[in-house]
Chain A
């Protein structure tokens, strides 16, 4: 009886506590971004090592960014030409590429001060959260807008970061298109390029 009681407690714990931990961020887009900014600030503290920053940023990105969605977006119209096997291969490759690129860009910053300002609801699927990276003695203030995917209102995900009006996802998409077009539309050449990037970085 006592054993059964502990088994029940065990299942109750893992049914309620753990799922809550994996969805620990707020479902409100503005609060969601505020929490991410606060977490990133802690991770990017000057006292932390590069390895620690990379590890923590990778874990965070896997939870808060819609990497699969960004991957499909960056393929543009070429995504319609992929077979199911190629889609699977691309999703894995893109995730590896994205995480390398994402952490490499962010670990250059230490102790960023970002104010989350306001939100603009575009439609039920997208909300733009506007924020400002505050000016320092060396650098001017920079506006940062976050395109938040809110199709599942309980679990918002970031799909794009727009710095001073310049979309990182759009830049990525045009970069990928350039690689494919310069190889006569051969999408497998993009896969090779991504593999090389992951290997060399």
Chain B
């Protein structure tokens, strides 16, 4: 999915890097268990999704809202979620209609497997970050606003492919404040 989105965003260098990583790690890395690609200079440059691609194309984020299980999102990213389904190879392996069309697919898996995979991914993400969520919950005076702010900052950073906040946000507000 990242590779497809790299190409859709015109990031051909990153697409080449990810194609090389896939080739090396799925063979020499024994189906991705190990990561020899990084040692060869093909570093992991992060995941891309269709929401980011639409953002790169210039779409505004739209309204912010929270979906069950999936969590925080915006209108742009919700549309991106639909796009992700069609770009995700796991969906093509599990989707019944594809099997009926005889294109790709696997009789051993049903379409439900894809949604279990997505759902458990969301639960896994929460469990790995449970301490951060607890801390945020304990210290927030408006938890909804905190999560919204963090989500939008994170998405803006990903769309800009920025390594730090400095390149993606207007810091002019800081310039007005002098205390010494």
Measured CB to CB, the residues of A under 8 A from B are: 66, 68-69, 72-73, 76, 101, 104-105, 108, 120, 122, 125-126, 128, 130, 143, 145, 147, 149, 151-152, 155, 157, 159-160, 162, 164-167, 170-171, 173-179, 182, 193-194, 197, 201
13 A-B pairs with CB atoms under 8 Å apart are A68-B179, A72-B177, A73-B177, A105-B135, A108-B135, A128-B166, A130-B164, A151-B178, A166-B157, A167-B153, A177-B145, A178-B148, A179-B141
Q: Which residue of A lies closest to B140 (CB)?
A: A175
Chain A binding surface SS class: mixed
Q: Is the CB of B141 within 8 A of A73?
A: no
- Given A122-B166, A170-B153: A175 in contact with B141 (beta carbons within 8 A): yes
Q: Is the CB of A162 within 8 A of B164?
A: yes
Interface size on B, residues (CB 8 A): 31
Q: Which residue of A lies closest to B128 (CB)?
A: A139
Q: Which residues of B contact A122 (CB under 8 A)?
A: 166, 171
Q: Which residues of B contact A155 (CB under 8 A)?
A: 180
Measured CB to CB, the residues of B under 8 A from A are: 131, 135, 138-142, 144-146, 148-150, 153-154, 157, 162-166, 168-169, 171, 173-175, 177-180
Interface residue from B145, B163, B173 paired with A179 (Cβ < 8 Å): B145
9 cross-chain pairs, A with B, having the tightest CB-CB distances, nearest first: A178-B145, A174-B149, A165-B157, A69-B179, A171-B149, A175-B145, A178-B142, A101-B139, A175-B142
Interface residue from A73, A128, A165 paired with B173 (Cβ < 8 Å): A73
Q: Which residues of A contact B178 (CB under 8 A)?
A: 69, 151
A193→B143 CA distance, assembly (Å): 13
Q: Which residues of B contact A162 (CB under 8 A)?
A: 164-166
A183→B162 CA distance, assembly (Å): 35
A147→B165 CA distance, assembly (Å): 11
Q: Is the CB of A175 within 8 A of B146?
A: yes
Q: Which residues of A contact B168 (CB under 8 A)?
A: 165
Q: Taking each of B135, B154, B157, which has the highest tally of chain A beta carbons within 10 Å of its own beta carbon? A: B135
- Given A108-B135, A165-B153, A175-B149: A197 in contact with B141 (beta carbons within 8 A): yes
- Given A170-B149, A174-B148, A178-B144: A145 in contact with B175 (beta carbons within 8 A): no
- Given A104-B138, A175-B141, A175-B149: A167 in contact with B165 (beta carbons within 8 A): yes
Q: Which residues of A contact B138 (CB under 8 A)?
A: 104, 201
Q: Which residues of A contact B179 (CB under 8 A)?
A: 66, 68-69, 72, 149
A164→B156 CA distance, assembly (Å): 13
Q: Is the CB of A171 within 8 A of B142?
A: no
A201→B141 CA distance, assembly (Å): 11
Q: Is the CB of A105 within 8 A of B164?
A: no
Q: Which residues of A contact B135 (CB under 8 A)?
A: 104-105, 108
A128→B162 CA distance, assembly (Å): 15
Q: Which residue of B lies closest to A91 (CB)?
A: B179
Q: Is the CB of B162 within 8 A of A73?
A: no
Q: Is the CB of B165 within 8 A of A166?
A: yes
Q: With both chains docked as a complex, state the minimum distance between the C-beta of A103 and any C-beta of chain B, in angstroms.
A: 10
- Given A104-B138, A145-B165, A177-B145: A152 in contact with B131 (beta carbons within 8 A): no
